[in-house]
Structures are given as structure tokens and as C-alpha cells.
């Protein structure tokens, strides 16, 4: 156990030195010593090892200056790679992230209604193989593969427990399947949690405010960053608000219950309400655009109708915001986060929607909890969850959190 702790401390020093170099330009070994307060012997040994492994690049200073010229250090983007895969009922997204934390490869694949569980797993394998083919010889530098799973998961065993939008997706040991296929370490996390991880790195880097990211697409779920770490709760499924019972909710949910959040807030809920209301003469602009084929309804159509000032669309948007605001009220009362980000590919009409959600929250939460708090709609890329899955692999190896402070 003592030997393992020594190794953890050694890795922590390595990671802090990497982090120190990563976010600075024109930095030398002497600069690293001053910033980290490590001994010069430690700094020299660690950096020499990182240079030997090609994780760092050395570059001679070409500036005219008195005295001995320093050697600048920088991250080698090709030092290591991380593969991330995320999927939902409609598609699979796969990315390769380099050691500079940049996406260098991104691809997406459709999931059709006709595909069974085995077909989806084959498609996931295919997406990873294509990513490895892209890397070619560089694939020897792949640290691992992160996978963002939809629905409920057993994150310890790497099992997809249940996902309502894919038939027969129950107790799928995706970690075991992929490790056997690819011989890489496989990291499993819920796909909305990987979105939260991605947003943390994109917006905050290594030090983050507390925030809640609410994903609004086929279902509704939260990813939570608390104390600069992903909060997963007991069993790993914290944030599953989709099937919370809403007061006055009376619509049938895919889970078989009545009045769940998903029946009022998700894109599926919005679409079904639009279809119902079209039967009574509402949403004429969208009905004309789709020529009566309701399968053609998209979230973008709805949002564009809102932005055009269509009364029917605005009323439905405000109705959705009201339900979501009431759903988030106990979240704010319990967690007291600094930010809530409402994440969707459409951007959900920006401030029109977020201001309405905030208004409902303000009516139901004590003002003390809303100090320096705000709600913001963010438009996200389709591969955001895949990027977060890749960064999950990176975090496992290159965390800068002290070993004895990490949650067990």
C-alpha cells in the first residue's frame, strides 16, 4: 500500500509539472521549479523523463538576452491520444483527442430504428476501428477509450443497465465487450456526465466553478461538477431527473409512469405536444413546412418558430421553461450551484428560454441561494459528449488532485 502511495505521489508531481507547462508559453525548467516549489532535482528528473517519452518538446530560446539562454518547454500534441465515443438513440459520435486536448478526428454514425442491440454494439466497434485506422502507427500512443453511455449505468463494472430509447438495452457489459475487442483500458461514464466533463475543460480548464449542466434532447438529465469534480452520487446515477414526478404532470412517460419530467421538458415531449396541437389548428407554419409528415419535425423548426415570434411556439416554450424551472428548484435548494447551463444542439432560443426558467426559479427559491447565480442556454456540438469521454481517459491518468482527497 505504501509503495502504491509513493507511485501516486510521483505521478501527481509529474501531472502538476505537465499542467504547469501546458498553460504557459516560454517556460523553462527554472520557471517550473519556481511555480511548483519542487526541488530542482525533482523537476530535472521528471522533465527529462517526459522529454525522453516525447511528452514534451524542447526549443532553444532565440531571443537576444544576456546570460545563458533557457530551453523552452511545451506539450507535444503527439505525445499521447485519447479516444472518446458517445451515443444515444439516434447516433454514435467518435473523436480522437491529442495531448494538447484538441480534437483531431471526429466522425458520426446514424442509429436507425431497425438496428438491434448487437447492431449498435457492432457500430460502436466500427467507429473505434475507424479512429484507430486514422491514427495508424500513432495508435501505439493511445492511452485508452472513454465511452459515454445513455441511461442508467453501473460505472464501476462498466455496464449499461437500462436505456428507455433503445429496445433491449439492459445489462450490457460494454466495458468487457470493448476491452476484449481492442485490448485498451475502457472508461465508462453516463453520456451527459461526459458532456459536463467536456464543458468543464472547454470553459474552465482544470479549475471550475460549481455548475449543473442540464441536457435537453430525447430525455432530460443533469451532469454536475461540484468541488471541481464530477458528482456521481451513490451508485453513480446522480442527475437522473428525467423520471422525477412533476406536480400537475399527467402525461404518460416511456417508463410507464405518469407525469415525469421527460413528458414535459424533453424534445420528444415538445414534439408530441406540437403534433397534438396541430390537430386543433396550431403551429400552422410548421405543419405547412413538413407537408403533414410529422416525422420531419425537428427542434430547429420549433426554435426558429419561436424566434419568428410565433405565438403558439412561444407559449409552448414558456410552458416548457415553467416545468423545467420547477424541476430545478429543489436542485438549487440542495446543491446551491453557481451556474446552471441548459445544453442543447439548438441553443433553445437563448435568453428567451433561460430568462423564463430563471423567473420560475426566482419565484420558488430563497434569494440568498440566488446570489451570483445565473442560468444560461448553451449551444453544444454533437460530439461534445464524445470529447468528454476522451477527457475521462485523460483525467484518470493525469489528475492533479491529491490521492488522499479523491472520493472513493
Give the mean pLDDT of 48-73. Answer: 84
- Can you give the pLDDT at residue 235? 78
Q: Give me 311's grid cell.
A: 405565438
Question: pTM value?
Answer: 0.92
Count H helices, E strands: the chain? Answer: 13, 15
User: 241-337+346-379, what's its fold?
Assistant: Nucleotidyltransferase; domain 5 (3.30.420)
Do 358 and 342 form a contact (C-beta atoms < 8 A)? no
Query: Running DSSP on this structure, what letter comes out for residue 253?
Result: P
Is the backbone of residue 37 left (phi > 0), alpha (psi -120 to 50) or beta? left
Rg of the Cα trace of the chain? 24
Q: How buried is residue 161: exposed, middle or buried, by Cβ count under 10 Å (0-12/13-18/19+)?
A: middle
For 290-319, letters b (16+ CB in 10 Å) and e give eeeeeeebbbebbbbbbeeebebbbebbbe
Do 142 and 184 form a contact (C-beta atoms < 8 A)? yes
Read off the pLDDT of residues 238-250 as tens digits, 9 standing for 90 and up: 999 999 999 888 8
- Can you give the pLDDT at residue 406? 41
pLDDT at 23 over 80: yes
Helices 2-22 and 40-52: crossing angle, nearest 10°? 80
Question: How do strand 339-344 and strand 374-379 relate by DSSP bridges?
Answer: parallel
CATH of domain 2-75: 1.10.10.10
Do 360 and 323 form a contact (C-beta atoms < 8 A)? no
Is the alpha carbon torsion for 240, 242, 243, 244 positive or negative?
Answer: positive
Q: Report how far residue 175's alpha carbon sits from residue 263's, in angstroms, rounded to the nearest whole number.
A: 31
- Can you give the pLDDT at residue 405? 42
- Can you give the pLDDT at residue 3? 63
In DSSP terms, 344 is beta-bridged to: 379
pLDDT at 408 over 70: no
The three-point CA angle 149-152-154 to 5° equals 85
Least confident interval from 62-66, 68-72, 263-267, 366-370: 62-66
Do 116 and 90 form a contact (C-beta atoms < 8 A)? no
**7 or 98: which carries more pLDDT confidence?**
98
Read off the pLDDT of residues 173-214 as tens digits, 9 standing for 90 and up: 999 999 999 999 999 999 999 999 999 999 998 888 899 999
Read off the pLDDT of residues 366-402 as tens digits, 9 standing for 90 and up: 999 999 999 999 999 999 999 999 999 999 999 876 5
Q: Report how far residue 359's alpha carbon sits from residue 375's, in angstroms, rounded to the nearest whole number.
A: 10
- Can you give the pLDDT at residue 2? 62
Do 96 and 135 form a contact (C-beta atoms < 8 A)? yes
State the CATH architecture for 81-205+385-405.
Answer: 2-Layer Sandwich (3.30)
Query: Running DSSP on this structure, what letter comes out for residue 162?
Result: E
Read off the pLDDT of residues 249-303 as tens digits, 9 standing for 90 and up: 889 988 888 999 999 999 999 999 999 999 999 999 999 999 989 989 999 999 9
Beta-sheet strands, E only, within 316-368: 339-344
End-to-end CA distance of the chain: 15
Place 97 in a pLDDT band, splitting at 50, 70 and 90: very high
Write the DSSP string, 58-94.
EEE--S--SSSPPEEEEE-TTS-EEEEEEE-SSEEEE
Q: Find all residues with CB under 8 Å of 1, minimum gap 6, and list them.
A: none
Question: How do strand 339-344 and strand 229-231 relate by DSSP bridges?
Answer: unpaired
What average pLDDT is seen over the chain? 92
Whether 2-75 and 81-205+385-405 share one fold: the answer is no
Give the mean pLDDT of 41-66. Answer: 88
Read off the pLDDT of residues 314-372 as tens digits, 9 standing for 90 and up: 999 999 999 999 999 999 999 999 999 999 999 999 999 999 999 999 999 999 999 99
Give the mean pLDDT of 75-88. Answer: 97
* In the chain, domain spans: 2-75, 81-205+385-405, 241-337+346-379
Q: Find all residues with CB under 8 Å of 277, minimum gap 6, and list them.
A: 283, 312, 316
Do 377 and 354 form a contact (C-beta atoms < 8 A)? yes
Q: How buried is residue 247: exposed, middle or buried, by Cβ count under 10 Å (0-12/13-18/19+)?
A: exposed
Backbone angles phi, psi at 10, to 5 degrees: -65, -45
Do 199 and 169 form a contact (C-beta atoms < 8 A)? no
Do 95 and 390 form a contact (C-beta atoms < 8 A)? yes
pLDDT at 1 over 80: no
Do 241 and 289 form a contact (C-beta atoms < 8 A)? no
Give the mean pLDDT of 9-23. Answer: 94
Q: Report how far residue 394's alpha carbon sits from residue 15's, in angstroms, rounded to the nearest whole number.
A: 11
Query: Running DSSP on this structure, what letter comes out for residue 132?
Result: H
Place 404 in a pLDDT band, splitting at 50, 70 and 90: very low
Amino acid at each position: 500500500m505504501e509503495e502504491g502511495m509513493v507511485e501516486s505521489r510521483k505521478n501527481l508531481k509529474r501531472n502538476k509539472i505537465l499542467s504547469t507547462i501546458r498553460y504557459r508559453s516560454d517556460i523553462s525548467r527554472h520557471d517550473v521549479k519556481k511555480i511548483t516549489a519542487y526541488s530542482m532535482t525533482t523537476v530535472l528528473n521528471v522533465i527529462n523523463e517526459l522529454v525522453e517519452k516525447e511528452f514534451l518538446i524542447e526549443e532553444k530560446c532565440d531571443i537576444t538576452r544576456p546570460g545563458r539562454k533557457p530551453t523552452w518547454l511545451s506539450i507535444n500534441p503527439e505525445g499521447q491520444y485519447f479516444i472518446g465515443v458517445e451515443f444515444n438513440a439516434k447516433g454514435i459520435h467518435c473523436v480522437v483527442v491529442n495531448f494538447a486536448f484538441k480534437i483531431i478526428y471526429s466522425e458520426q454514425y446514424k442509429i436507425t430504428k431497425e438496428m438491434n442491440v448487437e447492431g449498435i454494439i457492432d457500430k460502436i466497434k466500427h467507429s473505434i476501428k475507424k479512429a484507430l485506422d486514422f491514427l495508424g502507427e500513432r495508435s501505439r500512443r493511445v492511452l485508452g477509450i472513454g465511452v459515454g453511455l445513455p441511461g442508467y449505468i453501473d460505472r464501476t463494472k462498466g455496464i449499461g443497465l437500462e436505456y428507455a430509447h433503445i429496445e433491449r438495452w439492459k445489462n450490457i457489459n460494454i466495458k468487457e465487450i470493448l476491452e476484449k475487442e481492442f485490448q485498451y483500458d475502457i472508461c465508462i461514464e453516463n453520456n451527459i456526465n461526459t458532456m459536463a466533463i467536456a464543458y468543464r475543460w472547454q470553459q474552465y480548464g482544470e479549475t471550475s466553478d460549481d455548475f449543473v449542466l442540464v441536457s435537453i434532447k430525447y430525455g432530460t438529465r443533469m451532469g454536475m461538477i461540484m468541488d471541481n469534480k464530477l458528482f456521481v452520487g451513490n451508485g453513480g446515477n446522480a442527475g437522473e431527473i428525467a423520471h422525477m414526478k412533476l406536480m400537475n404532470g399527467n402525461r404518460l412517460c416511456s417508463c410507464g409512469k405518469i407525469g415525469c419530467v421527460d413528458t414535459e421538458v424533453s424534445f420528444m415531449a415538445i414534439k408530441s405536444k406540437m403534433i397534438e396541437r396541430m390537430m386543433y389548428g396550431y403551429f400552422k407554419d410548421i405543419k405547412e413546412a413538413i407537408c403533414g409528415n410529422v416525422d420531419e419535425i425537428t427542434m430547429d423548426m420549433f426554435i426558429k418558430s419561436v424566434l419568428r415570434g410565433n405565438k403558439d411556439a412561444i407559449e409552448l416554450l414558456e410552458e416548457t421553461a415553467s416545468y423545467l424551472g420547477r424541476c430545478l428548484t429543489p436542485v438549487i435548494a440542495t446543491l446551491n450551484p453557481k451556474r446552471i447551463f441548459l445544453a442543447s444542439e439548438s441553443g433553445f432560443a437563448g435568453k428567451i428560454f433561460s430568462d423564463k426558467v430563471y423567473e420560475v426559479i426566482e419565484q420558488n427559491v430563497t434569494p440568498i441561494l440566488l446570489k451570483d447565480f445565473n442560468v444560461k442556454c448553451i449551444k453544444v456540438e454533437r460530439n461534445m459528449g464524445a470529447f468528454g469521454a476522451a477527457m475521462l481517459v485523460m483525467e484518470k491518468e493525469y489528475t492533479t488532485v491529491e490521492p488522499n482527497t479523491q472520493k472513493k
